[in-house]
Structure 1
Amino acid sequence: MSGKGNAPVIIKRKKVVAGDGHHGGAWKVAYADFVTAMMAFFLLMWLLNATTEKQRKGIADFFNPTIPVNRISGGGDGSFGGDSVFTEETLAQNGTGAPEGQSASNQEGSGASSGASDAQSYTEVKEMLSAFSGESMAADSALRHIVTKVTDEGLIIELHDLEDEPLFAKGSDVPEPVLELLVDMMAEVFSIVTNKVALNGFMASQPVVVARNPVWNLSSQRADRLRVMLEEAAFPASRIQRVSGYADRRPVVSNPVSFRNNRVELILLRSDISAAQN
């Protein structure tokens, strides 16, 4: 009995190792949120770089409520008149926010309408320019001088020098025969639309430093000569919005003295720009 009473007590401790602790899901949620945020950020950066100002405004308008419900009163003729705050009559006549909401809606509608009209006009102009191809060898040769592009300002039709065929006599604003043919084409094409027109002149830089740099005066003189030629071709003078000379400040190629920088631009202005400048 005494031997059994003195027997050692053995305590067995079991060590539990949590081997799958690193498989928890909390960090995955945080990482997924981070990746989503980064993707949204890079998508935003891409949209800012790949869209025009007009397109960005359209995207912004998409996320703005068309009807300012939070600033419109209950509507109706007096208290509990029964009209809904969403009816067109209520928005137009009642509520503190109604006139602003109506004005914004009208502006969006008119802006979209003018934008669609301008796009149609630009398409018609480019199609008519393309139709000159094949009419004659002179027309085909003249079309080599034309580059078109659509910008936020409107449709730009650029007439530029070729290495073997300039638009103006060297160092002057005297037009060459090819420019006279091009201006006749432009006057005919512009007659199918009603947009206002802006005229710009550009020059290549001088290869040497001169005491009096002529490019400022010459670019303005060539743009103005283009205006005179258009008017002589029966183009309405009232449609010419402005005439500008930019000297050699906006080269289109990396070499500033290249003949390619000698050019004039005819811009069919967007309708909203023309209205704002009037």
Structure 2
Amino acid sequence: MTAQANVAPVIIKRKKVIKGGGHHGGAWKVAYADFVTAMMAFFMLMWLLNATTEKQKQGLADYFAPTIPILQASGGGNGAFGGDSIFSEETLTKNGTGASVVRVAAEDKARGAIAEDTDSQNTAFESLNELLQGFGGESLVMENALEHIVTRITDEGMVIEIFSWAELQIFEDGSATPTQLMRDIVVLISEISKTVQNDIAIGGHVRTQPIVLKDNTVWDLSQQRATQVRLLMERNAIMAARIKRVTGHADRENAVHNPMDIRNDRIEIILLRDVS
């Protein structure tokens, strides 16, 4: 009896659980994210509207403009076009892409014709280049001449570049007097040019002088050299009317990185593309 009296009583405490009012979930985060995204899109739209030009805005408006009008009244038929064709200028919308569908088709045809003409001219230029390279086996003189010539086809036309080497120059040093090598090259290019009717442009380039001169003559010298080439071509039966431009570029457009390199002494003869 005494042992049982000394045992401490067991006390059980029960906590009251109140349901409700706890965690409500993360639905508000989704709503907030949607709000932030919408605001970001809004300000981005405002920025784009401020950054674009009126022409660009009109282009965007034209892109979303409907090209098939919905007529409220019949014009002789039960269809959406009231009896007119889809390609009718009266049926298409008056502004935006609808009014220009027929014109765009014509422009596409014109672009196709231009691309075809460009391809044919490129083919002609490539044939001229092959003809030019073919002269290399005729004589040692022509073989040496071709070592001073590079060609390339550009948007402007076929560029024939004639340049000096340290061992053999195309002009007398510091003057506009062409060497015999240059005369032979011009004769060769003149013969090639007679096989086509393209107009011609001539440009002169010179290297930078190693010392600062009181009178810098690079502009005059490049112009004079280009003029000498023009005169040589005219003497070789190139009609003066074909030569549309003679330009002196001085030392402003270098062919190699070192502006004083003799390789920068050069002449460019361009057979211009026919844009008519």
Q: Is the pair's TM-score, using the shorter chain for normalization, greater than 0.5?
A: yes
2:133 to 124, 130, 133: 130
Q: Distance in 1 between matches of 2:84 and 2:247?
A: 60
CA 1:71–1:201 in 2, change beyond 3 Å: closer, same or farther?
farther
**Mapped pair 1:201 → 2:179:** no
2:186 to 183, 195, 210: 183
Q: Distance in 2 between matches of 1:231 and 1:248?
A: 26
The offset of 1:149, in angstroms, is: 1.6
Partner of 2:116: 113
Partner of 1:253: 256
**Mapped pair 1:146 → 2:149:** yes
Structure 1 unpaired stretches of 5+? 1-5, 7-68
The offset of 1:119, in angstroms, is: 0.7
The offset of 1:82, in angstroms, is: 6.5
Q: Distance in 1 between matches of 2:196 and 2:144?
A: 25
Give the TM-score of the pair, scaled to structure 1. 0.65
Q: Distance in 2 between matches of 1:268 and 1:212?
A: 34
Partner of 2:103: 100
CA 1:230–1:84 in 2, change beyond 3 Å: closer, same or farther?
same
Q: How many residues are paired up?
A: 208
Q: Distance in 2 between matches of 1:129 and 1:147?
A: 10
Q: Distance in 1 between matches of 2:245 and 2:206?
A: 18
2:222 to 208, 219, 226: 219
User: Is the Cα–Cα contact under 8 Å of residues 84 and 91 in structure 2 kept in the other structure?
Assistant: no
CA 1:73–1:136 in 2, change beyond 3 Å: closer, same or farther?
farther
Greater Cα shift, 147-156 or 206-215: 147-156
Give the TM-score of the pair, scaled to structure 2. 0.65
User: Is the Cα–Cα contact under 8 Å of residues 198 and 243 in structure 1 kept in the other structure?
Assistant: yes
Corresponding residue SS for 1:242: strand
Deviations 1:119-147 (A, max 9, x none): 11111111101110110111111111101
The offset of 1:71, in angstroms, is: 4.7
CA 1:225–1:97 in 2, change beyond 3 Å: closer, same or farther?
same
CA 1:109–1:208 in 2, change beyond 3 Å: closer, same or farther?
same
User: Is the Cα–Cα contact under 8 Å of residues 162 and 267 in structure 2 kept in the other structure?
Assistant: yes
**Mapped pair 1:270 → 2:273:** yes
User: Is the Cα–Cα contact under 8 Å of residues 68 and 86 in structure 2 kept in the other structure?
Assistant: no
Corresponding residue SS for 1:111: helix
Corresponding residue SS for 1:155: strand
CA 1:201–1:262 in 2, change beyond 3 Å: closer, same or farther?
same
Partner of 2:166: 163
Corresponding residue SS for 1:271: coil
CA 1:73–1:147 in 2, change beyond 3 Å: closer, same or farther?
farther
User: Is the Cα–Cα contact under 8 Å of residues 197 and 242 in structure 1 kept in the other structure?
Assistant: yes
User: Is the Cα–Cα contact under 8 Å of residues 72 and 98 in structure 1 kept in the other structure?
Assistant: no
In the alignment, residue 192 of structure 1 is paired with which amino acid? T
Q: Distance in 1 between matches of 2:120 and 2:91?
A: 33
Partner of 1:192: 195
User: Is the Cα–Cα contact under 8 Å of residues 122 and 153 in structure 2 kept in the other structure?
Assistant: no
The offset of 1:83, in angstroms, is: 4.5
Q: Distance in 2 between matches of 1:103 and 1:83?
A: 18
User: Is the Cα–Cα contact under 8 Å of residues 204 and 266 in structure 2 kept in the other structure?
Assistant: yes
CA 1:81–1:142 in 2, change beyond 3 Å: closer, same or farther?
same
The offset of 1:151, in angstroms, is: 2.3
Give the root-mean-square deviation of aligned CA atoms.
3.2
Partner of 2:48: none
